[in-house]
Structure 1
Amino acid sequence: MSDQAPVEPFVPPTESEALAWARRRGVGALAAKMGFEWVEFTIERSVATMPVEGNTQPVGLLHGGAYVVLGESLGSMAANLYAGPGRLAVGTDINATHTRSAKSGLVTGVCTPIHLGRTMTVHEIVVSDDQGRRCSTVRITNLIKDMPRG
């Protein structure tokens, strides 16, 4: 007989509960400063926008690092939602391939899981411009571990 209490199964939140959780938790100071805005948030699909203005290189194109900030914010939050209560997802690898430059308006990141495992998640984030053209593809891997005590 085990001395441990039985583990309650994780019941994923509804879309509105998940979006409310994400908005309460926040996206961190950097993503907030860059104008990150939630559109949709579930374990299966997360969407956010970010303005090009204020996030550009000296030549007026959206900075490559801005694509990565959008992608990491989406992928990490999605992984943490999937991890469930008492667990934490932390990034271990991220990469991005930029295929087009956004010059104005908003970019939209759409995050979908590639792998959802017990201790690891992998998400792909496709970032598109206002015309729906793919500008960057970001992939992030997160390790899921128990939340630190204390």
Structure 2
Amino acid sequence: MSFDKEKVLALCNNWSKNTLMGTLEIEYIDAEEGMLKARMPVNPRVHQPMGLLHGGATVALAESVGSAASLMFVNPEKQEVRGIEISANHLKSKREGIVYGTAKIIHKGASIHLWEIRITDEEDRLISLCKLTNMVLSRKR
């Protein structure tokens, strides 16, 4: 089976409707085998009280893009993906604009996927560095 970038992006964006990803305006914008990229606007909707990007919103972006990326390696009719651990180091603040989450596979096992997710700004400055572990489960009907 060949990789279909447009199909992956359409699937991820369609599944995001009426979810946290939709609420945060996360949009999947690029994909290749082993990599998925999304963007999220930084505005008062994702600020903490001091007017900065909330770390929780950053982690929501990271987990969203990393979990969606694991879908590239499973059969969604037979398998499901669950995030089981996430860590984040917030390195730089952001008040407005856009942040990008780029997930790259570190380990692709049969039951565990490990992803590195870099959250960057428009100038490709590193905002946060995250690591996500996903578990692959058989889908229960």
TM-score by length of 2: 0.91
Structure 1: which 5+ runs fail to align? 1-10
In structure 1, C-alpha distance between the alignment counterparts of 2:22 and 2:13, rounded to whole Å: 11
The code of the aligned residue for 2:39 comes to T
Q: Match of 1:101, SS?
A: coil
In structure 1, the partner of 2:66 is 75
Deviation at 1:42, TM superposition (A): 3.7
Q: 1:34-86: CA deviations, max 9, x gaps?
A: 11111113441111111110201111110000110000000111112212241
Query: What's the Cα RMSD here?
Result: 1.4
User: More displaced, 122-131 or 11-20?
Assistant: 11-20
Cα gap change, 1:106 to 1:26, in 2 (>3 Å): same
Q: Bigger radius of gyration, 1 or 2? A: 1
Q: Distance in 1 between matches of 2:89 and 2:64?
A: 17
CA contact (8 A) 1:27 1:73 kept: no
2:14 aligns with: 24
Instruction: Classify 1:72/1:94 alpha carbon distance in 2 versus 1 (closer, same or farther; 3 Å).
Output: same
1:114 and 2:88 are equivalent in the alignment: no
1:88-137 per-residue CA deviation (whole Å, 9 max, x = no partner) reads: 11111111000000111000111100101111101111001122110101
* Greater strand proportion: 2
TM-score, normalisation: structure 1: 0.86
Answer yes or no: is 1:63 the counterpart of 2:54. yes
Partner SS state of residue 34, structure 2:
coil
How many percent identity over aligned positions? 32
Return the letter of the residue paired with 1:77. Answer: A
* Count of matched residue positions in the alignment of Structure 1 and Structure 2: 139
